[in-house]
Structure 1
Amino acid sequence: MSYIIRNTIVLGVVFTIILAVGLFITAFSLPKKFVKLDAEIKKIELELQNTPDLANQYNVAAAQLEEMKKHWENRSKEVPPKDITGETYGYLNRTMDVSGEVKMDMTYVGPRDFGNYGFNVYTLKGEGAFKNLAKFIWYIESGRRLLKISSLTLRGYESKSAESNETKILILFDMELQAYYSPMEELHNAPGELKAQQTILTSNPFYPLIMHEIPAPLPDEIEIERSILKAVIPGKAFIIDQNQKSRILEEGDKVYLGYVTRILPNEGKIECLLNKGGVAERFELTIRQGEPLK
């Protein structure tokens, strides 16, 4: 075979291979790339169309961040590194001094810790005139310490004086209080000033339209609704009465306006039946869980 024929055959084979590769790229590979490129182009076009929305979202987020910075720089609440029960008790006592006469018994329940912050839970039980109690609650929520009232129960009570026979309306309250603490140093001091203004309440919603016709309590008679149940054993209940005196009650014992009907040690409570001027009322006194503070 001559060199001319052999070279011609080799060139023909090379040309055929090049042609086949070109046809494969043109017919199969390039269309797939074109489809992929076309999808990416559409995606970019869609993102370009959404640019105004992204800009609006950025502006809204920036405004929210600026508002949060303003609140942070003007914060007025202090969060101590630890909540010491004695200091919290003293803080609440000072709060009562500026609120007016309010009686309070405070019990420590326990901590709730979440790492960067936490709070101690306390229960408060007491009484006071509506105006004084409203101030006390306002000072708790609006004072320098970060305290939160998580639950609050209020009940009107007609207290009749044995000496003057005068009826005074007291508000009996049960409160659960959270006292916050945090190891974050930035929260220990608040740069802002307290600007909250107390709302003045002009009326007492607990004042009854019609007073009950009830007698004044006898000397040393237990006003069970103003008392605190400390312990219960089968057949006996140990209480602290309205005069802070320790007393023992048994089933059938008389109390102001009624008598003890049941002592339930398994449930940690006693039941009484009271006669409120002809209206029978069942009243339960329950042991408060936690450690009492003095």
Structure 2
Amino acid sequence: MSYAIRNTIILLVTLLLIVGIGYSYSEFYLQNKVSNLQEELRTKQNDFNSKDQINSQFEELNNTYEKALKVIENYDKVLYQNNRPDNVFEFLNKVNGFGDDKVYYDYVFDDTLSQGEYGIITSTIAGYGKYSALTNFVNRIENSQLLNKISQVAISPGRNDDGPGTVNFTFTLESYYQKAQIFDSVKTDHVIKLNEDISTYNPFRPLIQSSIPPNTEGLVSIETSRIIGITANRVFIKDGGGSLISLKVGDKVYLGYLSSINIKDKTATFNLNKGGIQEVITLEVDR
């Protein structure tokens, strides 16, 4: 075999090997890779189409979301966002910070109870304060936006050292918290409400006091005064210190008020409350 023929055969074999390898690479590797890329392209195209649809609806969905937040924020009641007792304690301090009168209390965390999509934080509150302050304290706890329930209330007269009208109290507080994360996006500055129709009258206050309150306002004392002049709608009184004072019906005096003027009889009538004992005093004009 000549040298030229042998080289030709070698070139043909080499060419066949290159063609075979190229065909195998294209048929088995590239074709599979192209199929995978096509599948990935379809998946990304579907994902793009889905997100493009969401993007086109974003403004409407966002408006709906904002409206839903407003609705939740305006609920009469909302739940605590978690089961941390310090959130309850912080709420009680905020409630007790309203108004002039405050109660003085100890906060004791008792337990937490899980109830499906919500839970209950149970606490015991015990302390003392004026009855009116306690009434407003309980009033705000139950009427404010955060959901709390008070039970097992016990009230008793307080010590004289703590001031007049003071009572001791204890009650159980159940505070409801969320587990489904419904109110996470809602503001945490919850509304504090007071029901003004609830009476703050102290039923433990004695009808007749052991002492008469002091004259802290410096009002005229009728029992040490005399009338020196009178008109149809006004009387002129000189008190024990020699000061001249003018009063009309309804004006306050020490322990009471001027209730009526009788120009015909030249008298003035005063209603007094001496620590629960009602007295009516009528003074005549000095002649």
Q: Which has the higher contact order (CA 8 A, sep 6+)?
A: 1
- TM-score computed with the length of structure 2 as normaliser: 0.42
For normalisation by structure 1, the TM-score amounts to 0.41
Over alpha carbons, which structure has the higher Rg? 2
